[in-house]
Structure 1
Amino acid sequence: MIEINWPAIGFTVLPNLGGIAGGFITKKSINPWYEGLKKPEWRPPNWAFGPVWTTLYSSMGYASYLVYRDGNGFEGGAKLPLMVYGVNILANWLWTPIFFGKKDIKLALYEMQLVNGTALATAYLFYKVNHTAGFIILPYCLWLSVATALNYVIYRDNKDKIKEIKET
């Protein structure tokens, strides 16, 4: 009989729940709002965001499981890393309602700095508990640099019409 590691599955799936919720918010704002913004030529195509975020969320979730397992859960050395990770994932989930829901590109850019800082702290703290878990977070940090740059360029190139954008 195959044994199923339910905690690993739960930790892996959990981050995707916020991603799925964010997808509903994003879908409502893609057309005409987001498509009407000036965006850089180097931006990834819209279809790429779903698979990339699903992969990143799943890997982050699995990394959090490794830390939970190897750091003796919330009663041991995993407590602080998992708390920082929790702040990170909540900040990550909040970015979508700010950017796509409120259409507040500037606030989303500021909020992204919290995501970046807690992501780097998560990678470091995870590494201290489980080296593999720390390394698993690095692609997420790299993708966040792309997302931050994209947020910045969209803000920079559209700030002359920010008030008009928010009203659409």
Structure 2
Amino acid sequence: MVQQWDIVKIIGAIALPQMGGWVNGYLTRQEIKGWYQNLNFPSFRPPNWIFAPVWTSLYAGMGYASYLVWRDGGGFSGIAQGPLFLYGTQLALNWAWTPIFFKRHELKWSFVELAALTATVAATGFAFFNINKLAGYVFIPYFAWCSFATLLNYKIYKLNPESTATIEEVKEPKKKTN
């Protein structure tokens, strides 16, 4: 039976990834009507409205999975220590993608970052599975979505080579030499 204190821990574990999602959602909304809508997209890009519910559910799942691993793996000082470190790493990579893509407009580096995130998500899922099977299974749709997002980011990068200029290059264009 779930104790009252366990419910607080579960809520905290689920809320942690959501907080980064909320901040990144705000950053994303600021760019949608400007820079982002002017990009070229592949035909398989989902509609914009799908991203918020998908990420909200993925964040909830990964948060709950982290609670299960923390609970079953002895917390931060037990066998869960390594998997929870991987979890924190993938969460930081997850949160880092939005500023790289939407604020810096770095299509190439956001692709590289997303590929690293996807690999870290896979490693986290395997590590979680070794402690709690359900926690590992929860990472399967997250891995699938990150794999899709990596492909989508790559195609956007390839379709928009002129959009890979850094913010500094936009502010001060390189001078042509003749």
Measured against the shorter chain, the TM-score band is: over 0.9
Give matches, 1:1-168, under 5 Å.
3=4, 5-163=7-165, 167=170
**Which structure 1 segments of 5+ residues have no match?**
none
Say what the alpha-carbon RMSD is for the aligned residues: 1.7
Quick one: structure 1 residues 31 and 142, their matched pair in 2 at CA, closer, same or farther if it must change by over 3 Å?
A: same
2:117 & 2:164 partners in 1: Cα distance? 23
Shift in Å, 1:161: 4.4
Shift in Å, 1:146: 1.0
1:16 & 1:131 partners in 2: Cα distance? 23
**Which structure 2 segments of 5+ residues have no match?**
172-178
1:90 & 1:146 partners in 2: Cα distance? 19
Q: Does the 8 Å contact 2:16/2:63 carry over to 1?
A: yes
Identity of aligned residues (%): 44
Between the two proteins, the alignment pairs up a number of residues equal to 167
Q: Does the 8 Å contact 2:45/2:152 carry over to 1?
A: yes
- AA in 2 matched with 1:167: V
Quick one: structure 1 residues 144 and 130, their matched pair in 2 at CA, closer, same or farther if it must change by over 3 Å?
A: same
2:153 & 2:98 partners in 1: Cα distance? 11
State TM-score, norm by structure 2.
0.89
- AA in 2 matched with 1:70: D
Q: Which structure: larger Rg? A: 2
Shift in Å, 1:3: 3.2
- AA in 2 matched with 1:101: K
Shift in Å, 1:48: 0.5
1:162 & 1:123 partners in 2: Cα distance? 32
1:133 & 1:51 partners in 2: Cα distance? 20
Query: 4+ runs of 1 displaced by more than 3 Å?
Result: 164-168
1:55 & 1:162 partners in 2: Cα distance? 31
Moved more, 109-118 or 135-144: 109-118
